[in-house]
Each structure stands twice: as structure tokens, then as C-alpha cells.
Amino acid sequence: MAEVSQDLTSLRVGFIGGGNMASAIGAGLIRRGVLKADNVWVSGRTTRTLGFWSDLGAHATLKNGEVVENTDVIFLAMKPQMLDDALAGIAKTITKCPPSKLYVSVLVGVTLEVLQTKLERIVQQPRVIRSMPNTPMMVGEGITVYCSKGTTANDEILVNALFSHVGISESIPETLMNAVGGLSGSGPAYAYLITEALSDGAVRMGVPRPMATKFAAQVLVGAGKMILETGRHPGQLKDEVCSPAGTTIRGIHALEQGGIRGSLMNAIEAAVTRSDELSSVPKLVEFVKRYFDMMSSSLILRKVCCSCCSHALRYENANFINLSRKFSSKSTVGCIGFIGGGNIARAIGNGILKSKLVEPPSIYVAEPYEPMQKPWLDLGTKVTNENGKVVENCDIIFLSVKTTALNAAATGIKNTLSVPVRDKLFISVLAGIPLSVLKKVILPVVPEARIIRSTLNMPLLIGEGCAVFSGDSSVTEEDIASVKTIMSGLGMCNFIPELQLNAASGLVGCGPAYMYIMIEALADGAVKMGVPRDLAIKFAAQTMYGSAKMVLETGKHPGELKDQVCSPGGTSIRGLHAMEKSGVRAALMDAIEEAVKRSEEITNK
């Protein structure tokens, strides 16, 4: 396996083709300090992408031969249909005979056999690795699979080390390359489309656009990471988000009615079919001809409007979002209580303990159901049947019972208090229950209680949650600081007006369940095309996670990021077409609408 710590700063790396994929790999590695910009050489057919590389401090040239002469590892990073042209470019511009070099192809569908045969035109016995990376490498969360021919063990170790610095990297048999590529290579495009559609659904229900896109991306980050870190089945994780007769199951129903699983499987099959087509040499030749015909007419267009066509990926100039996810405003919190010790309470409790905000004995949990008590006892927290005990001992109390159990929880407090209490901060996680109702139920039992209403999601468990809070004027600045401190290790935290809370919860609270079934469906699609199940689930989750992180870290529109994945006439656009035909966007918007309607039903009960 790769030695990720291996020092690669003296390695000289070349890219023939400096577009989207080369930028994701090369700029990702340079920005992480893995490669020195001065050791990177990049060539293009035109100057379109070269300015980006010069600005980065790399050597940019129109001569492919210069790249081969000056580097040890050469990435072939042009479109598959431009391979012949690029190799001819090397032969034409080389000034001295290239010694043995390692070639790494990122070309979708082009087999090792074809690569080797073609490379033999310029070098004897070429060492070649066929790889399939993806663009979230730019933020260090890519996936690369590769296979090789004629290489040495050191070549594989080196390439694995390079790719491992910017994400997951695995060697697989060549027979699986197209199938995995349909999931991981094209997958970011599906994930961006899903992000955009979730954001549209939330906007439709009244959430402002920047908030909707940020929450949608964080839901993908959290869900993907939950699968990768817990190793649990996506279906199991989905079940934990779906309360009986709750909001999420309504959303899931809408997704299933929209045929979401079939549609995602279709997307993978369509992309893999296109890879298989690109692997077939006669079809490739025919495609090259069509491509050149199209290119000659688009070159005329380019002359007319070259300023607007000349945008390459310019990540360093991109409007990076300062997420301020981890709050620095530290406020001290005393003991923290939970009335109701179920899934979401455990997610919060685990997160609090993981971030070492308090020790386990400072957490009090009232939970009557014995099997639910066990995990809390195992954590070393104090567990009781008496709600009153929790309220007496804690200043901040999470109300985390089922929505239908609110009145019973308040009665439970009243009946088990040994002394009168007042002036506590309650944070309700009950979907749909408005502040007015919460106050009516809590204030008679705990006078002067300040109440915050929230929607949180399960990826809190691994520090990648998304939480939204609302409170009225009784909630103090100090309360807000305490909430932010509690949330500091749990993920993204936002205060919003109560009016927007139901709409946001249709995305934030329920969203992970939508993601889990989509990850499961993407994995099913890859399994259908021959990828082993464990790899398929891991790659599907990582693809979702990495793509969502791209949206959050680059601040670019998901549509723009999606375009960077979709090569003209390539595999990803085939997959997207399959998804659009089955109405995936409408299904996702319906899911949010249904969940919000259910929240409103609960609110108005």
C-alpha cells in the first residue's frame, strides 16, 4: 500500500492536457505541498488552460514534448478522443529521445492494451498505469482506482502515494475499471445534481438560496461520512432518521414514488455503457472524426467570443466560503441533560463527549426504556427514569422525546422533581413543535425556562451534522453562545427565524435519510455493473462526501462543478441524462415538500 508520508517534493510530474482533471490532481497536490509547483510541467493544445498553471507557479507550454523531457511521471489528461493527437504532439516537439518514463492515463474507457500500443509509437516498452480519478481531489476527497501493465512495484507505490494524498486510492482489476468509473468518476456530477435539486426543494419551501445550498451540501457531507466512518449499512442508517409517522418517511415515500433508486442505477449503467463504447477502438475512431468536425466549427465560435470561453478552473480565485463551522466563541457549559435517550440524543451526546466538552458523569439522561439506557451507561453517563432529576442537575436540557410524548415528558418532570426549579435552558429537537406550544407545556413546570427549538441531523455523531436553531426574545446571548459551544465539535450550526424552521428541517433533519437511499442505489447500480458490494458502498459514500465538500469549500455553484465532470460525449453526461429522464430533480423537490408538509401538520395539530 501507499506510503502517504513518502516525500514527493523532488518528483517531477507532467500533465499532457491541463484541464479539469489535471487541475484537480495537480493543483490538489501542489496546494497540499505534496508536489513543488516548480517541478510540475503542463502542456495544452491551446493556451486556454495554461494561464491557470503559470499563476500556480508551474511550467506551462504548448509543446507536449517539453513535458515529457522535463518530468518523470507523465499524466495523460486530455479527452480520450485527443490521445492520438497528443502523442503525435509529443513525437513532433521532442528534442531528445525520452528515457524510461512512467505514464499515467486518466482517460475514461481507454484500455491498457490500447495505451501501450499507442505509447510504443514514442517510447519502447512503456510503463503505463490506467487510472480513473475524480474531481473532488481538489479538496482532498477524491477516489482513484487504477490498474497497470509493464510497470514496476515501485511505480504502483508511487502513483498510489500521489493519489492517496488527495483521497482514497485503490488498485483494481482492469475488468472493473469502467464499472467503477461509472460510479466514482462520473458520480460527482450526480452528487452535484442532487445538491442542486435539494437546494431547489428547500428554496421552493421558503429557505433562502445560500442557506439551502449550504445545508444541502452539508447533508451530503454528513451522510457520506456517516457511512464511511461507522461502516454501517446505508439502509440501517436511513431507518434511524425515519421516525414513525414522522416527516422523513413522507419524504422517502415521495422519493420512492419518483423512482429514485431505479434512476440512480440507470445513471451508473448509462455511464458504464458509454465507457464500454469508448473502450471499443472502431467506435473511438468514429468519435474522433465527429469530435474534430465539431471542434473545427467551435474554434470559429471561440475566436468570436474568446474572452468568455477562456475560463479554466481558477480555484484560487474562487469565492471560497468561510464556513466558520467550528465556533470559537467558547462559553462554559455545566451539566447537560437529555429527556429522551434515543437516536438523536445519542448523536448529540456522543458528539459532545467526542469533543471533550464535558466528562461523561456531567451528562444526565432520563430514559425509561432499558435497551435504550444501555449505550448511555456504556458511555459512563448518569442514567435515570426520572425526568425531574435531569432538570434539577442540569442547566441545559435537551428535550429529545418523540413529538407525541411532549406532554408526558413535562408531566414526568413535574412528578419527579424533589425541589422546585426555575430558569433553565431547554433545547427541543421535536420536529414540527412550535415555540408557542413548547412554552405552554414547559413553563408551568419550570417557570422562567428559556426555550430553543431546533432541527438537527444524525451526522452530528461524527462531527459532520447540520443544525438549525430558533428562539424567542427570552433566549440570551449567553444561551446562544452555549449552544454554539455545544455544537462546536458536531458540525454546522445556524440560528434562523422560526418561520423558516419547518422548511429547513425538510432538508436538514430528513436529508440524511434521502442520502442513504441514494448511496445505496448508487452502490446497487455499481454492483449491477459488476463492482463488489463493499467497494461500491465505500465509493458511493466517498463520492457523495467529496462532491459535497467541493460545493462547501470552493463556493462554486453545483451546476458549474457538475459541468467540470461532464466531458462532451463522455460517460457522465450519459448518466445524467438517465437521471433527468426519470425526473430525479422533481423527486427530490417532492421529498422536501412532503416532509415540510408533515412538519406543518405536526405544528398545527
Ligand X SMILES: NC(=O)C1=CN([C@@H]2O[C@H](COP(=O)(O)OP(=O)(O)OC[C@H]3O[C@@H](n4cnc5c(N)ncnc54)[C@H](OP(=O)(O)O)[C@@H]3O)[C@@H](O)[C@H]2O)C=CC1
Ligand Y SMILES: O=C(O)[C@@H]1CCC=N1
Site for ligand Y in 83-122 (CB under 6 A): 108
- Nearer CB in complex with ligand X: 78/183: 78
Considering only residues 572, 579, 593, 595, which one is a binding residue for ligand Y as defined by CB under 6 A?
572
Q: How many CB atoms lie within 10 A of CB 497?
A: 7
Binding mask 511-550 for ligand Y (x = CB under 6 A): ----------------------------------------
Residues 6+ apart with CB under 8 A from 515: 219, 220, 222, 223, 224, 544
Cα–Cα dist 80/86, whole Å? 10
Chosen from ligand Y, ligand X, none, partner binding at 382 (C-beta under 5 to 8 Å by type): none
Q: Would you state the cell numbers that stand for residue 181, as one nine-digit string?
A: 468509473
- Nearer CB in complex with ligand X: 183/552: 183
One-letter identity of residue 441: V
- Nearer CB in complex with ligand X: 66/392: 66
Site for ligand Y in 381-400 (CB under 6 A): none
- Nearer CB in complex with ligand X: 179/507: 179
DSSP H helices in 33-152 = 50-56, 64-70, 83-93, 112-119
Axis crossing angle, helix 511-528 with helix 533-554, rounded to the nearest 10: 130
Cell 466528562: give the residue: 359
Binding mask 264-303 for ligand Y (x = CB under 6 A): ----------------------------------------
Residue 325 CB, shortest distance to ligand Y, in Å, is 29
Cα–Cα dist 428/397, whole Å? 8
Cell 486530455: give the residue: 78
Binding mask 169-208 for ligand Y (x = CB under 6 A): ------------x---xx----------------------
- Nearer CB in complex with ligand X: 302/597: 302
Q: Torsions phi, psi of 186, nearest 5?
A: -85, -20
- Nearer CB in complex with ligand X: 43/350: 43
Cα–Cα dist 425/423, whole Å? 7
CA-closest candidate to residue 214, choices 427, 408, 492: 492
Axis crossing angle, helix 187-204 with helix 511-528, rounded to the nearest 10: 150
Cα–Cα dist 136/166, whole Å? 8
Q: Would you state the cell numbers that stand for residue 329, as one nine-digit string?
A: 466563541
Chosen from ligand X, ligand Y, none, partner binding at 77 (C-beta under 5 to 8 Å by type): ligand X
Residue 50 CB, shortest distance to ligand X, in Å, is 8
List, as one string, the DSSP characters of 345-372.
Answer: HHHHHHHHHHTTSS-GGGEEEE---HHH
- Where on the chain is the footprint of ligand X (CB under 6 A)? 16-22, 43-46, 48-49, 64, 77-80, 82, 85-86, 89, 106-108, 132-135, 185, 564-565, 567, 570
- Nearer CB in complex with ligand Y: 195/502: 195
Chosen from ligand X, ligand Y, none, partner binding at 246 (C-beta under 5 to 8 Å by type): none
Whether residue 364 contacts residue 382, with contact meaning beta carbons closer than 8 Å, is answered with yes
Q: Torsions phi, psi of 293, nearest 5?
A: -60, -45
CA-closest candidate to residue 248, choices 520, 596, 544: 596
CA-closest candidate to residue 198, choices 595, 601, 592: 592
- Nearer CB in complex with ligand X: 78/442: 78
Binding mask 552-571 for ligand Y (x = CB under 6 A): -------------xxx--xx
Nearest residue to ligand X by CB is 19
Residue 133 CB, shortest distance to ligand X, in Å, is 5
The DSSP call for residue 337 is E
Chosen from ligand X, ligand Y, none, partner binding at 407 (C-beta under 5 to 8 Å by type): none
- Nearer CB in complex with ligand Y: 430/535: 535
- Nearer CB in complex with ligand Y: 190/469: 190
Q: What are the E-state strand segments in 161-296?
A: 167-171
Chosen from ligand X, ligand Y, none, partner binding at 19 (C-beta under 5 to 8 Å by type): ligand X
Cα–Cα dist 348/457, whole Å? 9
- Nearer CB in complex with ligand X: 560/601: 560
Whether the CA torsion 297, 303, 305, 307 is positive or negative: it is positive
Cα–Cα dist 471/298, whole Å? 56
Residue 288 CB, shortest distance to ligand Y, in Å, is 15
Whether residue 148 contacts residue 112, with contact meaning beta carbons closer than 8 Å, is answered with yes
Chosen from ligand X, ligand Y, none, partner binding at 82 (C-beta under 5 to 8 Å by type): ligand X
Chosen from ligand X, ligand Y, none, partner binding at 107 (C-beta under 5 to 8 Å by type): ligand X
The yes or no reply on residue 17 touching ligand Y (CB under 6 A) is no
Give the DSSP H or E segment for 314.
none
Chosen from ligand X, ligand Y, none, partner binding at 44 (C-beta under 5 to 8 Å by type): ligand X
Residue 279 CB, shortest distance to ligand Y, in Å, is 12
Residue 341 CB, shortest distance to ligand X, in Å, is 44
Site for ligand Y in 315-374 (CB under 6 A): none
Q: How many chain residues touch ligand Y (CB under 6 A)?
A: 10
Give the DSSP H or E segment for 8.
none
Residue 154 CB, shortest distance to ligand X, in Å, is 24
Polymer length of the chain: 605
Residue 464 CB, shortest distance to ligand Y, in Å, is 25
Give bridge partners of residue 398 from the DSSP assignment: 338, 427
Q: Would you state the cell numbers that stand for residue 565, as one nine-digit string?
A: 465532470
- Nearer CB in complex with ligand X: 82/198: 82
Residue 169 CB, shortest distance to ligand Y, in Å, is 16
Question: Site residues (CB under 6 A) for ligand Y?
Answer: 108, 181, 185-186, 565-567, 570-572
